[in-house]
Amino acid sequence: MPVTVDANLGGSAEAISASELAEIGLRYEVDGAIATITLDRPDKRNAQTFATWSALARIGEHIPDQVRIVVVKGEGPSFSAGIDLRMFTPEGVPGQGSFVSAASLEETTFERRIADAQRGFLWLRRPDIVSIAAVHGHAIGAGFQLALACDLRVVADDVKFCMKEPALGLVPDLTGTKPLVELVGLPRAIELCLTARVVGAEEAVRLGLAELAVPAGELAQAVQDLAGALLATDRGAATATKRLLQGALGRSLEEQAIAERREQIVRIRTLFASG
């Protein structure tokens, strides 16, 4: 039975309650080893704000130790229509400012503000968890980047990925550019971003943007099945292997071989050392 929990499990000053999350347009549930984060502002197509990103970061900081899988999904017809378009208006998002007000921020403050937003995305790559984006309908801009922030993407057959930022005069800055290039390669990433065209389910799987595409009605079950298969693997081995794989692209073959040896010594000692 999933339980909705306050994210203040450690009782820290950065507590965030279920009702606070609801106000921001998020739900957070923990069911054993699986945590589920739901973008829950369907009437606005799960548009995201700075409050969304700061809440995501705080959820990440307080994920209970037993959690091994984090599922990120969207309520309603879209996964997420990206950043709240009120940011482009002079009035902005109440309490959060606008791009107009941000434009006059001093450089360091401005950079810190974007870094704070990125914190909501970065933790999803932690080696000790596997994050799965369950994506249906539109995943635009920040929505596409949130899906890219996850380790794996399972998509419904109605999915529509679109990197809209350049078409709006911006760059994708929510940690999406690196995984995009790693997944589809530089030329395709340039083409997708600079045309802001829509990528559907079949192409997403073909390009490596998604591991699996299923009929929309089967998305939840497909994610649950994948989570079950992932949970069948020993946690220590899963964490060490993810860490190795994450580091592989940045290392030479010799460096990677050294990293493999080091991780394996820890595994074998953990499993077989007596006394």
Query: Is 55 an interacting residue with respect to ligand CAA (CB under 6 A)?
Result: no
How far apart are the C-alpha atoms of 6 and 30, rounded to whole Å? 10
Task: Identify the helix (H) or strand (E) that includes residue 42.
Answer: none
Query: Is 85 an interacting residue with respect to ligand CAA (CB under 6 A)?
Result: yes
The distance of closest approach from Cβ of residue 179 to ligand CAA in the complex, given in angstroms and rounded to an integer, is: 14
Q: Which residues contact 4 (CB under 8 A, 6 or more apart)?
A: 18, 27, 28, 29
- Which range binds ligand CAA by CB under 6 A, 168-176, 209-217, 222-230, 247-255? 168-176
The distance of closest approach from Cβ of residue 109 to ligand CAA in the complex, given in angstroms and rounded to an integer, is: 18
Query: Is 140 an interacting residue with respect to ligand CAA (CB under 6 A)?
Result: yes
Q: Across-strand partners of 135? A: 155
Which CB, 82 or 92, lies closer to ligand CAA?
A: 82
Query: Is 44 an interacting residue with respect to ligand CAA (CB under 6 A)?
Result: yes
Phi, psi values for residue 69, rounded to 5°: -125, 135
* Binding-site member from 21, 35, 45, 201 for ligand CAA (CB under 6 A): 45
How far apart are the C-alpha atoms of 56 and 78, rounded to whole Å? 19
The distance of closest approach from Cβ of residue 206 to ligand CAA in the complex, given in angstroms and rounded to an integer, is: 23
Q: Is 176 left (phi over 0), alpha (psi -120 to 50) or beta?
A: alpha
Residues lying near ligand CAA in the complex (CB under 6 A) are found at: 44-45, 47, 77-78, 81-85, 138, 140-142, 164-165, 168, 170, 173-174
